[in-house]
């Protein structure tokens, strides 16, 4: 009996020494206790370079042992998923006084949520080799796969749970490329398979050429630019779609640049995340949409002048996202940044002392421009739609950065058979939540009156959509 007790003590000490390195026992600014467990720590994905990705894992409020494990990825490229955690669908949001409020529409009500800072250099993630911060889609996906394999070794009790990948914006690249890596990995091994069930991606950058044309159509159809400007953009910028047979357009850089400048002047300093909300007059934002514009503006890709002009307006007028119908605030990012830079908070989540930023400008500027312009449609065709996965692509319908017009054209390019025709879906308050259409292998949905970061602008509708698709593979209640 004495031996058994002594062995148990030794086992528990060893076990909790391991766990204490990652379990979160308390969070500064959180006044009430929570019923779910949280963990945060680094996972090494390359031992030679000591390349480590930082994560925050939050167990489900329902049945963590049975509920799906859901990975969330913000985009950029170069933006931290902790922006999603503390400003979109996580259990907490940061108040103006940097205390934490409770989000009643948190996705961890029904799912175990992993928020991953990727690639290395984003947020608290890091490497000992500076060259690792010059990266692209291939390395990002490989590191994320290595992270997941090591994560499920640390948390083997979740290995057989359904696994989903979710995200938004440039995660329109992160998620398809990671999915392809997981599919390849699962095909090669009988052990350590990842139980991938499905994907959900919001306002995804899928193919830059289509996106540029979709933006042009969107800003014109929403009365933001003049007829002449719209016609000039269509004629000279050659934002044509692959399926267009004879568009009659010819790329003329000088004229395209001229009409791009005119379009940004006509649009004025509105919020590109959500064209109908007011703007924050305190500081400026650097979240996903801004990072996307920054990547494009610094390149010689078509649309760079338009992007640089939009950035100039944003910087001059100190615009940050505003939010409607949610518990969050127009200047949310500044509160989140202040909170995560508090040494007490960094100690509580086991992060190394770091100057945390929501988006890493260096990584954004150095990220592969070839990858940025690459179409993800072939990956959908060859590695996703033929794998029996549940796929939801959704659009906040008032986002002008990756608008619904672009995403719908991308889906059109896939040539999928329609299984359930276009219809509205209602939210939990019996209002129209948006519209949806189901295809063979993929569901598309819009979220009404939601901007680029859907859960920020419409948390209830985002939760309704997420929970329904997670449980039934449908957005419409059957």
How far, in Å, CA of 218 to CA of 400, rounded? 7
Q: Active site residue: 274, 452, 456, 464, which one?
A: 452
Residue among 47, 176, 156, 174 nearest 116 (CA): 174
Nearest to 326 by CA among 387, 277, 392: 277
- Marked catalytic residue, from 169, 285, 304, 456: 169
Burial class from Cβ neighbours inside 10 Å (0-12, 13-18, 19+) for residue 368 reads middle
CA-to-CA dists, residue 388 to 51, 73, 183, 255, 261, angstroms:
33, 22, 11, 46, 45
Q: Is residue 141 within 8 Å of residue 181, measured between CB atoms?
A: yes
Structure-token pair, residue 87: 């400003």
Instruction: Please work out, in degrees rounded to the nearest 5, the angle formed at the alpha carbon of residue 58 by the alpha carbons of 99 and 117.
Output: 85
399, 400, 456, 464: the catalytic one is: 399
Q: Would you say 443 and 421 are in contact if contact means Cβ atoms under 8 Å apart?
A: no
452 is catalytic: yes
Place of tokens 């269509």: 234
What separation in angstroms does the CA of 108 have from each of 70, 139, 356, 377, 469? Answer: 9, 29, 24, 30, 15
Cβ-proximal residues to 133 (8 Å cutoff; 6+ apart), any chain? 119, 120, 121, 127, 360, 362, 363, 366
What is the token pair recorded at 413?
């390019």
Q: Which two tokens stand for residue 32?
A: 């009430």
d(CA 92, CA 100): 6
Cβ atoms of 369 and 422 within 8 Å: the answer is: no
- Active-site residue list: 169, 399, 452
């Amino acid at each position: 009996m004495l031996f058994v007790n002594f062995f148990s003590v030794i086992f528990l000490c060893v076990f909790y020494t391991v766990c204490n390195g990652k379990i979160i026992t308390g969070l500064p600014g959180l006044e009430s206790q929570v019923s779910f467990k949280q963990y945060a720590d680094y996972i090494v994905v390359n031992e030679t370079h000591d390349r480590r990705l930082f994560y925050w894992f939050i167990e489900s409020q329902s049945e963590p042992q049975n509920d799906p494990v859901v990975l969330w990825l913000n985009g950029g490229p170069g933006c931290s998923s902790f922006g999603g955690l503390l400003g979109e669908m996580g259990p907490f949001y940061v108040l103006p006084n940097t205390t934490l409020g409770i989000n009643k529409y948190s996705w961890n009500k029904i799912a175990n949520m992993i928020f991953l800072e990727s690639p290395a250099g984003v947020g608290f993630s890091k490497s000992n080799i500076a060259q690792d911060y010059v990266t692209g889609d291939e390395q990002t996906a490989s590191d994320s796969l290595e992270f997941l394999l090591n994560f499920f070794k640390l948390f083997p009790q979740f290995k057989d749970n359904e696994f989903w990948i979710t995200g938004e914006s440039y995660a329109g690249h992160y998620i398809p490329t990671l999915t392809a890596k997981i599919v390849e990995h699962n095909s090669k091994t009988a052990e350590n398979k990842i139980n991938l069930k499905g994907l959900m991606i919001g306002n995804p950058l899928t193919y830059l050429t289509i996106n540029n044309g979709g933006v042009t159509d969107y800003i014109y159809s929403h009365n933001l630019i003049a007829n002449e400007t719209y016609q000039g953009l269509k004629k000279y910028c050659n934002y044509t779609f692959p399926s267009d047979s004879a568009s009659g357009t010819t790329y003329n850089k000088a004229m395209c640049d001229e009409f791009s400048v005119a379009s940004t002047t006509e649009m004025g300093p509105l919020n590109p995340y959500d064209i109908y909300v007011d703007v924050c007059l305190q500081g400026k934002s650097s979240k996903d949409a801004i990072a996307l514009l920054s990547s494009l503006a610094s390149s010689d890709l078509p649309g760079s002048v338009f992007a640089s002009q939009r950035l100039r307006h944003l910087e001059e007028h100190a615009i940050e996202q505003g939010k409607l119908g949610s518990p969050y605030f127009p200047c949310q990012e500044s509160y989140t940044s202040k909170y995560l830079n508090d040494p007490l908070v960094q100690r509580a989540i086991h992060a190394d002392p770091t100057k945390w930023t929501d988006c890493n400008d260096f990584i954004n500027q150095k990220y592969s421009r070839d990858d940025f312009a690459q179409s993800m449609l072939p990956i959908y065709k060859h590695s996703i739609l033929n794998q029996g996965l549940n796929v939801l692509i959704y659009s906040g319908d008032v986002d002008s950065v990756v608008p619904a017009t672009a995403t719908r054209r991308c889906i059109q390019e896939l040539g999928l058979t329609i299984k359930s025709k276009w219809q509205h879906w209602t939210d939990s308050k019996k209002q129209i939540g948006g519209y949806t259409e189901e295809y063979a292998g993929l569901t598309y949905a819009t979220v009404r009156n939601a901007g680029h970061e859907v859960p920020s602008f419409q948390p209830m509708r985002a939760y309704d959509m997420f929970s329904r698709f997670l449980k039934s593979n449908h957005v419409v209640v059957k």
